[in-house]
Amino acid sequence: MDFMQLVTEGLWIVAKIVMILLPLILAVAYTTYAERKLIGYMQLRLGPNRVGPKGWLQPIADVIKLLMKEVVVPSGANKTLFLLAPILFIAPSFAAWAVVPFDAELVLSDTNAGLLYLLAMTSIAVYGVIIAGWASNSRYALIGSLRSASQIVSYEIAMGFALVAVLMAGGSMNLGDIVEAQNGSALHWFWIPLFPILVVYWISGVAETNRAPFDLPEGESEIVAGFHVEYAGMAFALFFLAEYANMILISVLTALFFFGGWLNPFQGIPYLEPATAWIPGTIWLLLKAAWFLFMMIWLRATFPRYRYDQIMRLGWKVFIPVTVVWLIVLTFWIKLEWGWWFDGRGLAQLAQTVGGAS
């Protein structure tokens, strides 16, 4: 390959990354605003309303405040690891977006191992948390990071099994292909055959992002702020940014895996489908994701924090068995071609391919 071509291609990829990350960071900023406003209304308060018209500039003011603050390194902390931890936390949560498709052709990396890559990226984010807790040289931080690590490792198993079910249903590990497999109508989406998996995936997603009611790692009432108790200024902002980026990621993924991603929900309905055909797929995807984001905020305003042994029980004794049982059910479902979701993938198709191969 020619050197100039290499450089231009590299720059083009960097430009695409910026085109994903800039809106993401902006979305994070306004998710925090939406969260504060929504929880405010749910608790009969007004929420932030002082900075700018109706408080719209509040996130900007928060960012400036965090940027101006000093990053304090506690005495006795391991300085290198202390400063490395937020980076280790935020890097995977940004890197995961590389395989997320926003429309049929709109994806940074159209890889065939997309699902596996996502799982790998979400699983290595735990290092940031553990190292933050350990390097802070603080009891609260250490307890918080231990809680977080055990919680993430536990729920990751259920999440992994849920993704196995998704890839079985979609017949591919490519996220674009999984969405295409749901093409047809809102009833073709995987939320019907994969309903228990959807519930498990969604709740595990909330637990993985350390959100209420699973926010034991940062339980204010017990351990102040958990693993990021010693962080201030920009270092804290990175943790904050990564947590909200993960929330948005889980919401987008739920929309992609179970609710048809960028597909039009009115597909197959006369009059409504042609009337909404002009709306680009990305808008549908973002609307669906916004709904799940709203659900996360709603959960936080509604439920009290779990007790720790109940979290572990839910993960290991409820979710993992449910996913394993549903994997078996799904195998029969696909091979017997019940309903209209898995056309052409049943036993007849299998016999044909085996016959053709031998």
Partner 1 sequence: MNLEAIIFYFFSAITIVAAIGVITVKNSVQAVLCLVLTFFSAAALWLLLEAEFLAITLVLVYVGAVMVLFLFVVMMLDVDFAAMKQGFAKHLPLGILVGAGLFGAIYWVIRFEVFGSDKVAEPAKHTQDYSNVEELGRLLYSEYFYPFEIAGVILLVAIIAAISLTFRGRRDRKGQSVREQHQVLKEERLKIVSMKSEKIDSGDDS
User: Which spans of this chain sit near partner 1 (rule: CB under 8 A)?
Assistant: 1, 6, 78, 81, 111-113, 116-117, 119-120, 123-124, 126-127, 130-131, 134, 142, 146, 149-150, 153, 156, 173, 309-310, 313, 357
SS3 171: coil
Q: How far is the CB of 352 from partner 1 (least distance, A)?
A: 15
Q: Which is nearer to partner 1, 135 or 293 (CB)?
A: 135
Q: Give the CA diameter of the chain.
A: 72
What's the CA gap between 169 and 180, in Å, rounded?
11
With a CB cutoff of 8 Å and minimum separation 6, the contacts of 338 are none
Residue whose tokens read 């065939």: 112
Q: How far is the CB of 79 from partner 1 (least distance, A)?
A: 12
Q: How far is the CB of 85 from partner 1 (least distance, A)?
A: 11
Our CA angle for 124, 95, 262, nearest 5°, is 120
- Cβ atoms 85, 128 nearer than 8 A: yes
Q: Which is nearer to partner 1, 43 or 75 (CB)?
A: 75
Q: How far is the CB of 119 from partner 1 (least distance, A)?
A: 6
- Whether the upstream peptide bond of residue 213 has omega within 30° of 0, thus cis, is yes
Q: Which is nearer to partner 1, 31 or 93 (CB)?
A: 93
Q: How far is the CB of 113 from partner 1 (least distance, A)?
A: 5
SS3 135: helix
Q: Which is nearer to partner 1, 161 or 284 (CB)?
A: 161
* Phi, psi for 240 (deg, rounded to 5): -60, -50
Rounded to 10 degrees, the C-alpha dihedral 245/248/250/251 comes to: 180
Q: Which is nearer to partner 1, 134 or 257 (CB)?
A: 134
Q: Which is nearer to partner 1, 31 or 148 (CB)?
A: 148
Q: How far is the CB of 222 from partner 1 (least distance, A)?
A: 19
